[in-house]
């Protein structure tokens, strides 16, 4: 029998199925919630401090009043994974989900039995739930579909704050999922028509040996994006540039790829069915993911392949998420 996972919630560790928030919570009323999702490699948390930094920046801008410090939250994350390890298999990785909501709105505070103040939640589930089924994408690549749904620009609601008002990302996913063919992932433009980001990932092109990212303006500035630009690429002496990217530039690129915490990097072999480069995963993509694998001591692609073989586990098939489409 699998043991039930535990969730840290407002000072206590409770059973995952008991972790609930009120219908009067500001998260439900306004999507008023900041969050982070992390991963481990070989059970070691990757860039957890950076995720917590990003979370606290969002909390500061949204004027949340939290009683815990970054260091305390870090320790809670470590403890949550430790308590959940018995419910995980040996080859599992931890996917922490840190959710912070403002709590119930003032007018509901007097309702009996309601938790007042912010909700601080740290959950933990196996990373394979998110990436299982994706192993073929490292070889086939994805087709980025440029959706009519655009990003919300930062001067209207800043996507750099990782928040749960994510309807526009979901709309882009739904739109991409209506496209014919397989492996269609949404790619969104900003209001000026420059490429911004995917619905759960950041985008890069490579041209003449230079790694190019859209400027970090109308997007979530991914921890993965930052790792690739500031650590991985320099290790391989690949020059990095941030600039406005038009669709034309992407069509003309030698390579393109997307990146995000759960799957690290996936090649973009076409955009709107137009081949990028030779339509196959590029050489620099391969070098980057190889270097990443050696840095963390895990063959990133093989690990997902191995989870793929395990057909007895939950499937997310037919669910509209950033990673699976009907
Ligand atoms: N962009 C969006 C909209 C995201 O939701 C995510 C991750 O969830 C990313 C980019 C990639 O961010 P990270 O590398 O921090 O996972």
- pLDDT score of 309: 83
pLDDT in tens, 170-187: 999 999 999 999 999 999
CATH number of the domain bearing residue 196:
3.20.10.10
pLDDT in tens, 68-82: 999 999 999 999 999
The residue whose CB lies within 8 Å of the most ligand 1 atoms, and thus the one to mutate among 49, 201, 213, 218, is 201
Residue nearest to atom 2 of ligand 1 (CA): 200
At residue 321 the predicted structure's pLDDT band, cuts being 50, 70 and 90, is low
The proportion of the chain whose per-residue pLDDT surpasses 70, expressed as a percent, equals: 94
Give the whole-angstrom CA distance, residue 210 versus residue 212. Answer: 6
- pLDDT score of 246: 98
Same-domain status, 108 and 207: no
Q: Is the pLDDT of residue 313 over 70?
A: no
- pLDDT score of 65: 86
Residue nearest to atom 9 of ligand 1 (CA): 201
In a domain, 316, yes or no: no
At residue 3 the predicted structure's pLDDT band, cuts being 50, 70 and 90, is confident
- Between the CA of 201 and the centroid of ligand 1 the distance, in Å, is 5
- pLDDT score of 101: 97
Q: Is the pLDDT of residue 159 over 60?
A: yes
Same-domain status, 98 and 175: no
Residue nearest to atom 12 of ligand 1 (CA): 222
The residue whose CB lies within 8 Å of the most ligand 1 atoms, and thus the one to mutate among 131, 150, 220, is 220
User: What residues make up the domain containing 17?
Assistant: 6-126
Same-domain status, 105 and 164: no
pLDDT in tens, 102-116: 999 889 999 998 998
Q: Is the pLDDT of residue 118 over 80?
A: yes
Same-domain status, 118 and 237: no
Whole-structure pTM value: 0.95
- Between the CA of 198 and the centroid of ligand 1 the distance, in Å, is 8
Q: Is the pLDDT of residue 1 over 60?
A: no
In a domain, 287, yes or no: yes
Q: Is the pLDDT of residue 320 over 70?
A: no
CATH number of the domain bearing residue 11:
3.30.470.10
- pLDDT score of 36: 98
In a domain, 196, yes or no: yes
- Between the CA of 197 and the centroid of ligand 1 the distance, in Å, is 9
Same-domain status, 186 and 114: no
The residue whose CB lies within 8 Å of the most ligand 1 atoms, and thus the one to mutate among 189, 260, 262, 266, is 260
In a domain, 271, yes or no: yes
Q: Is the pLDDT of residue 89 over 90?
A: yes
- Between the CA of 259 and the centroid of ligand 1 the distance, in Å, is 8
CB-CB contact of 145 with 180 (8 Å)? no
Average pLDDT over residues 305-325: 63
In a domain, 1, yes or no: no
Average pLDDT over residues 265-284: 98
Q: What angle do CA 306, 312, 316 make, to 5 degrees?
A: 85
Residues 123-138 as b or e (16 or more Cβ within 10 Å = b): bbbbbbbbbbbbbebb
Token output for 216 = 């970090």
- Between the CA of 110 and the centroid of ligand 1 the distance, in Å, is 37
- Ligand 1 atom closest to the CA of 224, numbered from 1: 14
Residues with CB under 6 A from ligand 1: 169, 197, 200-202, 220, 222-225, 260-261
Query: What's the total number of domains in the chain?
Result: 2
In a domain, 222, yes or no: yes
In the listed set 126, 151, 173, which residue is the last one of a domain according to the structure? Answer: 126
Among the residue ranges 9-13, 58-62, 130-134, 195-199, the one predicted with the least confidence is 130-134
In a domain, 230, yes or no: yes
pLDDT in tens, 227-274: 999 999 999 999 999 999 999 999 999 999 999 999 999 999 999 999
pLDDT in tens, 199-231: 999 999 999 999 999 999 999 999 999 999 999
Residue nearest to atom 13 of ligand 1 (CA): 222
Same-domain status, 111 and 193: no
In the listed set 97, 126, 155, which residue is the last one of a domain according to the structure? Answer: 126
64 versus 321: which is more confidently predicted? 64
Q: What angle do CA 239, 243, 246 make, to 5 degrees?
A: 120
Same-domain status, 120 and 262: no
At residue 87 the predicted structure's pLDDT band, cuts being 50, 70 and 90, is very high
């Amino acid at each position: 029998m699998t043991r039930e996972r535990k969730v840290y919630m407002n000072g206590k560790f409770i059973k995952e199925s008991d972790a609930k928030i009120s219908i009067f919570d500001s998260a439900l009323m306004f999507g008023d919630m900041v969050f982070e999702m992390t991963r481990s490699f070989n059970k070691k948390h990757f860039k957890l401090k950076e995720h917590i930094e990003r979370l606290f920046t969002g909390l500061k801008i949204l004027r949340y009043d939290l009683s815990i410090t970054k260091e305390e939250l870090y320790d809670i994350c470590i403890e949550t994974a430790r308590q959940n390890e018995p419910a995980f298999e040996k080859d599992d990785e931890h996917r922490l989900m840190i959710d912070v909501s403002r709590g119930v709105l003032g007018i509901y505070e007097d309702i009996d039995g309601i938790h007042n103040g912010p909700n601080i939640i740290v959950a933990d589930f196996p990373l394979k739930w998110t990436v299982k089924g994706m192993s073929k994408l490292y070889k086939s690549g994805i087709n980025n579909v440029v959706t009519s749904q655009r990003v919300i620009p930062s001067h209207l609601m800043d996507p750099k704050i990782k928040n749960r008002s994510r309807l526009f990302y979901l709309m882009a996913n739904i739109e991409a999922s209506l496209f014919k063919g397989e492996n269609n992932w949404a790619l969104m433009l900003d209001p000026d028509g420059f490429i911004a980001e995917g619905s759960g990932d950041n985008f890069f092109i490579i041209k003449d040996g230079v790694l190019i990212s859209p400027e970090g303006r109308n997007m979530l500035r991914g921890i993965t994006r930052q790792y690739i630009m500031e650590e991985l690429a320099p290790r391989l002496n690949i020059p990095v540039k941030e600039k406005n990217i038009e669709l034309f530039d992407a069509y003309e690129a030698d390579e393109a790829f997307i990146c995000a915490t759960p799957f690290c990097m996936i090649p973009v072999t076409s955009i709107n069915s137009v081949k990028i480069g030779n339509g196959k995963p590029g050489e620099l993509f391969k070098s980057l993911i190889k270097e990443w694998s050696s840095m963390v001591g895990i063959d990133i692609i093989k690990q997902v392949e191995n989870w793929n073989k395990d057909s007895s586990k939950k499937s997310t098939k037919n669910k509209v998420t950033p990673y699976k489409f009907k």
